[in-house]
C-alpha cells in the first residue's frame, strides 16, 4: 500500500498520515520524491483498506502495491535511487567501479592492489576478511586484522571500502571498519542477517544468490528496507546453470528485469560470474553496455599467488584498460563515471 500526498501537502499533513499509520499498528516509510512525498506502509498481514487513509488531509491517492515487495518497488518510488558509499554515488546516472582483491592477504598486497585500482580510476576498494569458502580447509580470511588492513589502506589511498559480513558477529566488525557491508550470494536469504543489516545506517551490497530468482533477490532487499535502511545496492554475480565453460552464468537480463521492477541500483560482478580471467573484461563491458550502475571486479597484482579466487583475478593493467574503455559505453545508457561528492581528508 502506498499513500501519495498532494504536491502541496505540508510536513504537518505528512506527519499526520504517519501517525495514523502507526496508530493502526503499521509502519510508515516516507519516500520523498521529486514532486511529492509518498508513504509506503509495511507491517500489514493482509490487504489494508484504502478508505482508512483516503480522506486524511493532504492525501492525493492510495495505491495498492501489486508486487509482494513494496519498498524496493518502482511502484512505490518511480525515481532511481542513488546510494552514496563514503562519498561515492552509485545509481541514477552514476556508474561506480568497486575493485580490489578477493581477500585481504597482507597489508603490502592490499596496498599494492589498492594503489593500482585507484590509479586505474576505480572509486571503491573491496577486500574480503571473512571468506565464505566451499572447503573448510581453504583460506578463511584474516578476520578483524584483515578489516583493519583494508580500512588503513582505504584511508591511505582515499577510497571507501567494502567487505563481506558472514554473520552477525562479523557484521559488528565490518560496520566498524568499512563504508559498505557486503552480503554475499550464500547469505542472500539469511533473513536474520538481512534484518540486522536493515537496522544499521550503512550502505549494503546485496549479491544475488546463485539459485535465486529476481523476485527472491528483491524480496531479500525488502528485508533490509523494511527495517529502515534504504541504502541497498544489488549485485548480479552469475547463477548456477548446466554450463561448464564458466564458473556461473552471468544473467545480464536480470539487470534489465531488476531496473524495470525496482528503483535500487544494480551492479555486475563479472569475476564471480565467470571465474576465468580472460572472460572478466568482456563481460564487464557487457554489464556496462546493458545499463548496470557499476561493476565489482577482483584484481590481483600476482594472481597466481592469490589465496582465493586466483583464476578469476585480473591484472591491474587489465583493469586500467577496462577503465579506459568504459567512458565509450556509459553514454549509451545515460550514465557517467561516478565522481566522489567530496574529497576525503
Q: Which of 234, 324, 248, 320 is nearest to 279 (CA)?
A: 248
Stretch near ligand PEP under the rule CB under 6 A, chosen from 34-42, 85-93, 184-192, 331-339:
184-192
**CA dihedral sign of residues 89, 151, 267, 71:** negative
**Helix crossing, 168-177 with 144-157: angle to 10°?**
20
94 versus 103: smaller Cβ distance to ligand PEP: 103
- Look at residue 184 and give the partner it binds from ligand PEP, Mn ion, none, a contact being a CB closer than 5 to 8 Å depending on partner kind: ligand PEP
- Residue from 18, 48, 85, 102 binding ligand PEP (CB under 6 A): 102
Q: Which stretch binds Mn ion (CB under 5 A): 55-63, 94-102, 142-150, 176-184?
A: 94-102
β-strands 180-183, 161-164 pairing: parallel
Question: Which listed residue (58, 91, 101, 128) binds ligand PEP by CB under 6 A?
Answer: 128
Residue 26 or residue 315: which is nearer to ligand PEP going by CB? Answer: 315
Smallest gap from Cβ 128 to ligand PEP, in A, equals 5
Q: What is the per-residue DSSP string for 107-125? A: HHHHHHHHHHHHHHT--EE
Instruction: Give me the least distance between CB of 313 and ligand PEP, in Å please.
Output: 11
Which residues, including other chains, have CB under 8 Å from residue 221's CB and lie 6 or more apart? 69, 72, 206, 232, 234, 262, 264
Q: Closest residue (Cβ) to ligand PEP?
A: 184
Which parts of 209-238 interact with ligand PEP (CB under 6 A)? 237
Exposure string for 245-271, b = 16+ CB within 10 A, e = fewer: ebbbbbbbebbebbbebbbbbbbbbbb
* 104 in Cβ contact with 344 (< 8 Å): no
Specify the DSSP class assigned to residue 331.
Answer: G
97 to 136: interface string for Mn ion, x by CB under 5 A? -----x----------------------------------
Q: Does 233 bind Mn ion (CB under 5 A)?
A: no
Stretch that binds Mn ion, among 34-42, 95-103, 119-127, 155-163 (CB under 5 A): 95-103
**Measured from the CB atom, is 62 or 221 closer to ligand PEP?**
221
Applying the rule CB under 6 A, the residues between 143 and 172 that interact with ligand PEP are none
In DSSP terms, which residues pair with 263 in a beta bridge?
none
Quick check: helix, strand or coil at residue 336?
strand
Q: Which residue is nearest to Mn ion (CB)?
A: 102
Q: How many CB atoms within 10 Å of residue 285?
A: 17
Residue 10: how many CB atoms within 10 A of its CB?
A: 12
Residue 178 binds which one of ligand PEP, Mn ion, none, with CB within 5 to 8 A depending on kind? none
Comparing CB distances to Mn ion, the nearer of 265 and 270 is 270
Q: Using CB under 6 A, which of the segments 93-101, 179-187, 286-294, 317-325 binds ligand PEP?
A: 179-187
Residues 280-309, one symbol each (x = binds Mn ion by CB under 5 A, - = not), give -----------------------------x
Query: Would you put residue 63 in left (φ > 0), alpha (ψ -120 to 50) or beta?
Result: beta
Give the separation between CA 67 and CA 70, rounded to whole angstroms.
7
Residues forming contacts to Mn ion in the complex (CB under 5 A) are: 102, 309
Residues forming contacts to ligand PEP in the complex (CB under 6 A) are: 102, 128, 132, 184-186, 207, 237, 272
Amino acid at each position: 500500500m502506498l499513500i501519495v500526498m498532494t504536491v502541496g501537502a505540508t510536513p504537518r499533513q505528512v506527519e499526520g498520515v504517519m501517525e495514523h499509520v502507526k496508530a493502526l499498528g503499521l509502519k510508515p516509510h516516507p519516500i520523498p520524491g521529486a514532486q511529492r512525498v509518498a508513504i509506503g506502509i509495511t507491517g500489514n498481514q493482509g490487504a489494508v483498506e484504502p478508505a482508512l487513509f483516503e480522506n486524511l488531509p493532504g492525501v492525493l491517492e492510495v495505491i495498492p502495491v501489486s508486487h509482494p515487495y513494496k519498498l524496493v518497488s518502482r511502484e512505490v518510488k518511480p525515481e532511481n535511487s542513488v546510494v552514496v558509499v563514503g562519498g561515492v554515488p552509485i545509481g541514477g546516472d552514476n556508474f561506480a567501479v568497486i575493485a580490489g582483491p578477493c581477500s585481504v592477504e597482507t597489508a603490502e598486497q592490499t596496498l599494492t592492489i589498492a594503489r593500482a585500482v585507484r590509479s586505474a580510476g576505480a572509486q571503491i576498494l573491496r577486500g574480503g576478511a571473512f571468506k565464505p569458502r566451499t572447503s573448510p580447509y581453504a583460506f578463511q580470511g584474516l578476520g578483524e586484522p584483515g578489516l583493519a588492513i583494508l580500512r588503513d589502506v582505504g584511508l591511505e589511498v582515499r577510497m571507501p571500502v567494502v567487505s563481506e559480513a558472514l554473520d552477525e558477529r562479523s557484521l559488528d566488525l565490518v560496520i566498524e571498519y568499512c563504508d559498505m557491508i557486503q552480503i554475499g550470494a550464500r547469505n542472500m536469504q539469511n533473513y536474520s542477517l538481512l534484518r540486522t543489516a536493515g537496522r544499521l545506517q550503512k550502505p549494503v551490497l546485496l549479491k544475488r544468490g546463485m539459485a535465486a530468482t529476481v523476485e527472491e533477490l528483491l524480496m531479500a532487499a525488502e528485508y533490509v528496507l523494511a527495517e529502515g535502511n534504504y541504502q541497498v545496492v544489488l549485485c548480479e554475480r552469475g547463477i548456477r546453470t548446466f554450463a561448464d565453460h564458466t564458473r556461473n552464468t552471468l544473467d545480464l537480463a536480470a539487470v534489465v528485469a531488476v531496473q524495470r521492477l525496482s528503483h535500487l541500483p544494480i551492479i555486475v560482478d563479472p569475476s564471480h560470474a565467470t571465474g576465468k580471467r580472460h572472460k572478466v573484461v568482456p563481460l564487464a563491458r557487457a554489464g556496462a553496455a546493458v545499463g548496470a550502475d557499476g561493476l565489482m571486479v577482483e584484481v590481483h597484482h600476482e594472481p597466481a599467488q592469490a589465496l582465493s579466487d586466483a583464476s578469476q583475478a585480473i591484472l591491474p593493467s587489465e583493469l586500467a584498460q577496462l577503465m579506459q574503455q568504459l567512458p565509450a559505453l556509459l553514454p549509451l545508457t545515460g550514465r557517467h563515471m561516478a565522481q566522489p561528492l567530496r574529497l576525503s581528508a
